[in-house]
Amino acid sequence: MSENIKTVADATCTFCGCVCDDIVLSVDMDTHQITKSQNACVLGKAWFKEHSIEERPAALIAGRPATTEEGVEEAAQILAKARYPIIYGLSDTTCEAQRVAVSIADMIGGIVDTTTSVCHGPTGMAFQGIGESTASLGEVRNRADLVIFWGGNPAEAHPRLFTRYAVTPKGMYVPNGRKDRTIVLVDVRRTQSTPVADIFLQVKPRTDFEVLWALRALVKGLKVDESIEERTGVSLAVLEDLANRMKTCRFGVIFFGMGITMNRGRHFNAGALLALGTDLNQFTHFVVAPARGHGNVSGADNVVSWQTGFPFGVNFNRGYPRFNPGEWTTVDVLCRGEADAAMIIASDPASNFPKAAIEHLKRIPVITLDPKTTVTSTLARVAFTTATYGINVPGTVYRMDNVPISLRPAFESPYPSDQQILTAIRERVSALLGGNRLPVNTAPTAAAS
């Protein structure tokens, strides 16, 4: 075993939206392997342990090794010539890189979209329609005495949401930790998270909206028919009990997952949850928050929002930002065969997008930025190798509660960061366009707006 071990205190795990910033890493500086990751959950430990710097060219152009500079030139040529380019991904990179990506989309009159469009996009739409009652995870830890998880499985997706913030930790106003909290789980099936719950509501698939609307009625003291059980699988007595607990707790929180947003009803479901939260704030303090998946997907929402006014799926085609999910979101643009170039940053859509979208990606020049070889990078015209954010790259990420966290990288990578490559591409595109943004694009769009 190497003697050359470096300890990194307060390192940050960017594997999931909890963005735990209390990790103590031991790094073998001879092999650049992370040998220990104290405080990390099983997912975080795997994230650090499996981190290795792939030995591959700085860039591949049409499968042939190239330098970063050659890759930048090729990528800039593709983007500057494109009539309807799309920039996608961004949830696993720093805010500093995200803001450069947005400015490139603006410069080339393209679309910028993030993985939010395939996870909590409906939540973003619901926020705009209903509003949001927020709290930091620290407030949840110190105050929440009723915690509800709806349509998610934190035990397997965000393990430390239970142990660090919402179920077991002792807090200022919940000094006995788990004993002071009531935990409720709502889902269509039992999962690894179910044993944590005091109360489990198994709802029939695709009836979340009905359950939520019934709860809203009960919270307001309105009558709900017994037939709700036949419709949703949850008895009126159970719903009445939950409504009562919600109204009488001191600080309630609902964390919700993709069981709400990627289900029948989508943004109506998310909106119903947020509206329930609004109703409950007439009786007590209640917070409704999405449990976000990727390490900096909340950062992507923040960066795209503060630069364009919209959280994802933003089209600069007319020289100003427009937002229309379903029209300018990546899956839709690709499935309709509209984009004529794509730049994918820290994401692998070719491994999980619908077939029609992947087929279109194969037909157009694709640029990828990724530390690893992925399905998408293997079909790319230009594939950059990048350093891993958090482990090799400093910067800012947003935790799922929108608290910004500074990264403390463990060691340097021989490869550049996403931000460095994107900045070089932006400079070159700007030069190719004569320092100006493209004139208003004449590319086809599916719907006039």
**Which residue number is nearest to ligand SF4 in terms of Cβ?**
44
Ordered strands of the 23-28 beta sheet: 5-11, 23-28, 33-38
Q: Say which DSSP state 438 is in.
A: P
**Is the Cβ–Cβ distance between 364 and 330 less than 8 Å?**
no
Closest distance between ligand SF4 and the C-beta of residue 27, in Å?
Answer: 17
**SS3 state of residue 89:** strand
For residue 416, count other CB atoms closer than 10 A to its CB.
Answer: 21
DSSP secondary structure code for residue 173 in this structure: S
Q: How far is the CB of 154 from ligand SF4 (least distance, A)?
A: 9
In whole angstroms, the minimum distance from the beta carbon of 409 to ligand SF4 comes to 15
Query: Which residue, 17 or 311, has its beta carbon nearer to ligand SF4?
Result: 17
**The pair of three-digit structure tokens given for residue 186, joined into one six-digit string:** 């709502």
Report the alpha-carbon distance of residue 155 to residue 161 in Å, rounded: 8
Of residues 178 and 231, the one with the C-beta less far from ligand SF4: 178
Minimum distance between the CB of residue 16 and ligand SF4, rounded to whole angstroms? 3
Q: Toward ligand SF4, which CB reaches closer, 15 or 150?
A: 15
Contacts with ligand SF4 by CB under 6 A lie at 13, 15-16, 18-20, 40-41, 43-44, 158-160
Q: What's the min distance (Å) between Cβ of 399 and ligand SF4?
A: 9
Which one, 24 or 432, has the nearer CB to ligand SF4?
A: 24
Q: Which is nearer to ligand SF4, 152 or 277 (CB)?
A: 152
Question: Could you give the 3-state DSSP secondary structure of residue 278?
Answer: helix
Contact 394, 407 (CB under 8 A): yes
Please name the residues in contact with 445: beta carbons below 8 A apart, sequence gap of 6 or more.
315, 317, 327, 338
Pick the closer one to ligand SF4 by CB: 407 or 422.
407
Spatial CB neighbours of 251, under 8 Å, sequence gap ≥ 6: 139, 140, 143, 144, 145, 146, 173, 284, 285, 286, 287
Tell me the C-alpha distance between 107 and 101, whole Å. 10
* Strand 182-187 versus strand 146-150 pairing type: parallel
Cβ distance to ligand SF4 smaller for residue 16 or 167: 16
Beta carbon nearer to ligand SF4, 18 or 438: 18
Task: Name the helix (H) or strand (E) containing 181.
Answer: none
